[in-house]
Structure 1
Amino acid sequence: MSAPAAPTSRDRRRWAQYLVNERAEARVYRELAARRDGEEREILSALADAEGRHEAHWLGLLGGEPQRLPRPGFSTRLLGWMARRFGSIFVLALAQNAEGRSPYDDEPFATPTMAADEKIHHEVVRGLAARGRRRLSGTFRAAVFGANDGLVSNLALVMGIGATGVSAQFVLFSGVAGLLAGALSMGAGEFVSVRSQRELLEATEPNGYADDALPHLDIDANELALVYRTRGMPEADALARARRVVAAARSQKAQTTYTGPVEVVDSHEVIGSAWGAALSSFLFFASGAIIPVLPWIFGLSGITAVVVALILVGIALLSTGAAVGLLSGGPPLRRALRQLAIGFGAAAVTYVLGLGFGVTMG
């Protein structure tokens, strides 16, 4: 890509903007690196160094440090603010989106290497963000789904009840009852699900029941190979492994008593505690379900309470939708509006149903 022979003042202003943005992004990566260790720290430091090379390019075109520089772009400032205060997966998700919007493809004064760097940076940050998403996915999924279930179901409940024209006290009671019923149902369901999964694993996972018999098996025709075949191992590989295990068990018995298990796989830590899962689900649901009830708790009634409830729930739905969008690498605004449409759509259905009873709101 050939650059114009004589850059204009507009070009120089654009270079200055690139310069401050590259500096700000480099600071973000260094701040994130300072909060990590090992491989992730090295990767983030290398990204900061690359942004420094881009900074040097624009500084060279400008002929040195300008006397006045513009502020970094809003998204870059937001990224830096979050990196200083959180240093979390949200920052990497934002950085992933920022790296995906590089202007260098259409910039005549950027080198092809710089444009290629930005594409690689996007993939590197996406990989780092994916690591964080995998670590966070279970807890975050439970939190968002639980809170959204509470928001949508209780909003729909109080909208439907409120539309019938009953007293504010009855709407409040219905909302609190819906909160407790839903939260208890979520907690009980999660408890049964996790407990059942743990019991299923206890019945199916390998154990050391037959360990003491290993030294006495026939090394040429032993049933241990059948154990490995039931676990999906080919016949030849199963027999070879069985022979190694029996030989090792006999050798160990000659020196002492063999106590090592054939194979131990403990998945309970991955699944977690049934009581912990139940309590988390209860709290997540309740945290969302309390929001639609707040106007009635503070003494509001009628259309005023309905409007306030819609505003509060709308803010919560937009927030959770945007958070899901950030962590999934998608557009936060689109996810937020989708979440809002789903919640308000459900509330509208029950509101119309309540009006259908023919009682005017008072």
Structure 2
Amino acid sequence: MNDEPTRRQLNRWRRYLADERAEGAVYRELARKRTGEEREILLGIAEAESRHEEYWRARLGDEVGLPRKAGLNTRLMAWMARRFGSVFVLALLQSAESRNHYLSDKDATEQMAADEAIHAEIVRGLAARGRAKMSGDFRAAIFGANDGLVSNLALLLGMFGAGAGQATMLTAGIAGLLSGALSMAAGEYVSVTSQKELLEASTPDPNASTAVPKLDVDRNELELVYRARGMDPESAGRKARHVFAELSRLKEIKDATDGLDADPELAGGLGSAAEGDITEDAEVAETAEDGGSGMSAAVSSFLCFGVGALVPVIPLILGLVGLPAIVLSCVLVGVVLLVTGALVGLLSGMSPWKRALRQLAIGFGAAAVTFALGSLFDVAAA
């Protein structure tokens, strides 16, 4: 092992030092805007980044040099953390932590590489919390706008391939906007409302717990409740026996008092012994799957589909005709597809560029197929 590091090593260490310093600042900035458990978790990661920073500072020694700028991605995350502090920053951090350069760098310790791997999972969990809190309105907005862009561009390209005129294309574009927006709104309303109704149907009756103290212990029908909710027979029986043991203890206390009527709180305790076990899982599931109200999702979907579907029609509204109108429509739609694709990529913790290009390819692919079909039925030449 060489005693003196090479210039390439020094440059790499300085870059690591700058990135660790900047990432620690990002976590501290995010923690500043949060409270409770999330704040503690973020500060814990920031402390680990500070340890990594000190490691590289010690390795550099007198060669630490002037402070360097962090990488572009890290600086972007710091900028977003100061201004937004949202789930987007956590998604970016998830992607950044997943690119663990220390795994292949012999100058880094195994513990640092392990730290970064664990950080990625911690941030993934925090980002998942943020995604879960996002209502169905956001989902309807993103996908509604994307559907509006692709469907109306495909419609216009199909009509252009079929030889339709500017007035006909404009009329069809507006009709496609309105019909598609109404269809999307109706579908989103039915989807979200049906989901909530299904969840409500799966939620246990809160009054069921009052029947538990009256059950025959020998029959142990409470075991069937747990088995119906997916527990294996052995675990269900063990859990039911635990509940009945707790009920027996409460009944002994009741017998030592003047009766249930004299102690309403004790009477309630008999039912509550199993209430949490019966209802807890379903309540957690309902909270996790809650996607906002059907009406708000419908309105969001209608507006976003309408805005998306309006984009390819703008050149026709401005009076352009023929090929120039179609080219400008494709350019405008392409830009918006890239933006929405990158946004979805950010939220999923993946590369925004890869998702943006995929969105662009899918959108233009659908439009190209429609154009080809329109060309087969060239009404102008017929």
Q: In which range does the TM-score fall when normalised by the shorter chain?
A: 0.7 to 0.9
> Partner of 1:290: helix, strand, or coil?
helix
Q: 1:252 offset after TM fit, Å? A: 4.4
Does 214-223 or 94-103 show the bigger shift?
A: 214-223
Match of 2:87 among 89, 109, 129: 89
* Contact 1:183/1:286, CA 8 A, preserved across alignment: yes
Retained in 2: the 8 A contact 1:17–1:69? no
Deviation, structure 1 residue 344:
0.4
Opposite residue 317 of structure 1, the aligned amino acid is: L
Q: Which residue of structure 1 aligns with residue 10 of structure 2?
A: 12
Alpha-carbon shift at residue 185 of structure 1 (Å): 0.8
Deviation at 1:157, TM superposition (A): 0.8
**1 or 2, which has the higher helix percentage?**
2
Amino acid corresponding to residue 324 of structure 2 in structure 1:
T
* Aligned partners of 1:222 and 1:242 also within 8 Å: no
> Which whole-Å CA distance do the structure 1 matches of 2:178 and 2:379 have between them?
27
Query: How far apart, CA to CA, are the structure 2 residues paired with 1:336 and 1:187?
Result: 25
**How far apart in 2 are the matches of 1:193 and 1:63?**
61
- The two structures have a TM-score, normalised by structure 1, of 0.82
Offset at 1:153?
0.9
* Paired amino acid for 2:309: A
Q: Which amino acid aligns with 1:17?
A: R
1:293 aligns with 2:313: yes
Q: Distance in 1 between matches of 2:227 and 2:17?
A: 62
Alpha carbons of structure 1 residues 309 and 206: separation in structure 2 relative to 1, 3 Å: same
Contact between 2:340 and 2:356, CA under 8 Å: does it hold in 1? yes
Q: Distance in 2 between matches of 1:111 and 1:231?
A: 50
Distance 1:99 1:208 in 2: 44
Quick one: structure 1 residues 41 and 218, their matched pair in 2 at CA, closer, same or farther if it must change by over 3 Å? Answer: closer
Q: TM-score, normalised by structure 2?
A: 0.78
Aligned amino acid, residue 117 of structure 1: D
Partner Cα distance (1:80, 1:195) in 2: 39
Change beyond 3 A, Cα 1:193–1:98:
closer
2:187 to 186, 189, 193: 189
- Asked if the contact 1:191–1:275 (Cα under 8 Å) also holds between the matched residues in 2, the reply is yes
Compared CA separation, residues 205 and 14, structure 1 to 2 (3 A):
closer
Number of corresponding residues: 358
Q: Which runs of 5+ in 1 are unaligned?
A: none
1:353 corresponds to 2:373: yes
Separation in structure 1 between the aligned mates of residue 186 and residue 303 of structure 2, nearest angstrom: 12
Shift of 1:347: 0.4
Amino acid at match of 2:312: P
Q: How does 1:1-362 map to 2 (within 5 A)?
A: 2=1, 4-64=2-62, 66-136=64-134, 138-199=136-197, 205-207=203-205, 228=225, 232=229, 244=247, 252-253=260-261, 270=290, 272-358=292-378
The alignment's C-alpha RMSD in Å is 3.7
